[in-house]
Amino acid sequence: MGLTLHRDKVRMLSAPPGKKIVLHVGCGSPRPEHLHPSFRGSEWHEVRLDINPRVRPDIVASIVDLAPVPSDSVDAVWSSHNLEHVAAHEVPLVLSAFLRVLRPGGEALITLPDLQEAARLIAAGKLEDTAYMSPAGPIAPLDIVYGHRNSVARGNEFMGHRTGFTAKTLKQKLLDAGFVNVRIARPGEFAIWATARKPAG
Ligand SMILES: C[S@@+](CC[C@H](N)C(=O)[O-])C[C@H]1O[C@@H](n2cnc3c(N)ncnc32)[C@H](O)[C@@H]1O
């Protein structure tokens, strides 16, 4: 797929005066609740990026290289249930791209499926039992590991999962990529959360 950065969207990477840019990667369909609450204040300017043009992102691109996004251009990267959609060998490329586009001192906020939690249910024989309800409907461990079955069945190839993480592996990959102040949380709800900062300079 060709990468597209519409000319009028280039301007979106220049925040209005006094605003900070949050690059919302793998943003999915345009819904206010998709933006993490910490980026909903008036000081933030959201730029939505996704590989799927059907979700009408500001930038159509892959997180594997974020090619259209200039280096040191955004204050934060927000990635929700997105990193598991690339192949395992591409994860270091994605994290390098996050690091590249962040301004020095900028922060990435990442959440993704907790495979340890899914594995607990799978080991208990609950592969297709509902683990939790999402806006897209019930989610079973099978969806957590392989991607949302209904979306994939509807032909959305971008919704399949190609890799997975535990808290330990995500932390190590962020450190290996060069992030600092890496903090990991497992608050439940089958998700791992991470914050990680680009070195200040
Ligand atoms: C499970 S949805 C998450 C949507 C939203 N962030 C949320 O948390 O509800 C995964 C999103 O990642 C996008 N995606 C998959 N592979 C991608 C890639 N290589 N680069 C950018 N986006 C990708 C999909 O098109 C989809 O919109």
Q: Domain map of the chain by residue range? A: 7-113+164-197, 117-153
The rounded Å distance from CA 82 to ligand 1 centre is 5
Residue 190: per-residue pLDDT:
97
Partners of 180 in the beta sheet?
A: 197
Tell the residue nearest (CA) to atom 18 of ligand 1.
62
Nearest to 77 by CA among 155, 134, 25, 9: 25
Confidence of residue 16 (pLDDT cuts 50, 70, 90): confident
181 Cβ contact list (under 8 Å, min separation 6): 195, 196, 197
Output the pTM of the full model. 0.94
pLDDT of residue 11: 54
Please state at what angle helix 167-177 crosses helix 91-101, rounded to 10 degrees.
Answer: 50
In this model, does residue 8 exceed pLDDT 70? no
Q: Region 63-90: what's the mean pLDDT?
A: 97
Instruction: Return the residue whose CA atom lies nearest to atom 14 of ligand 1.
Output: 26
Computed over every residue of the chain, the mean pLDDT equals 94
Q: Which pLDDT belongs to residue 10?
A: 53
- The confidence band for 142, taking pLDDT boundaries of 50, 70 and 90, is very high
Which residues 6+ apart lie within 8 Å of 34 measured at CB? 24, 27, 28, 80
Q: How far apart are CA 88 and CA 91, in angstroms?
A: 5
For ligand 1, atom 4, the nearest C-alpha belongs to: 28
Rg (CA), the chain: 17
pLDDT of residue 97 exceeding 70, the answer is yes
> In this structure, are residues 122 and 190 in contact, taking their beta carbons and an 8 Å threshold?
no
Instruction: Please identify, in words, the CATH class of the domain defined by 7-113+164-197.
Output: alpha beta
Q: What is the dihedral of CA 82, 84, 90, 91, to 10 degrees?
A: 80
- Cβ–ligand 1 contact at 196 (below 6 Å): no
Please tell me if the CB atom of residue 50 comes closer than 6 angstroms to any atom of ligand 1: yes
pLDDT at 88 over 60: yes
Enumerate long-range contacts of 128-134, CB under 8 Å, 24 or more apart. 131/190, 132/189, 132/190
pLDDT > 70: percent of the chain? 94
* pLDDT of 2 above 50: no
The residues near 59 (Cβ < 8 Å, ≥ 6 apart) are: 4, 5, 6, 9, 12, 47, 48, 49, 68, 69
Predicted local confidence at residue 201, as pLDDT: 78
Indicate if ligand 1 lies below 6 Å from the C-beta of 161. no
pLDDT at 115 over 90: yes
Q: How far is the CA of 160 from the centre of ligand 1 (A)?
A: 10
pLDDT at 59 over 50: yes
Assess contact for 126 and 190: CB atoms under 8 A.
Answer: no
Mean of pLDDT values over 81-101: 98
Question: Model confidence at 60, in pLDDT bands (50, 70, 90)?
Answer: very high
Residue in the structure block whose two tokens are 């990529």: 177
CA distance 16 to 47: 12
Which residue out of 5, 31, 35, 51 has the highest number of ligand 1 atoms within 8 Å of its CB and is therefore the one to mutate? Answer: 51
**Amino acid letter at 156?**
N
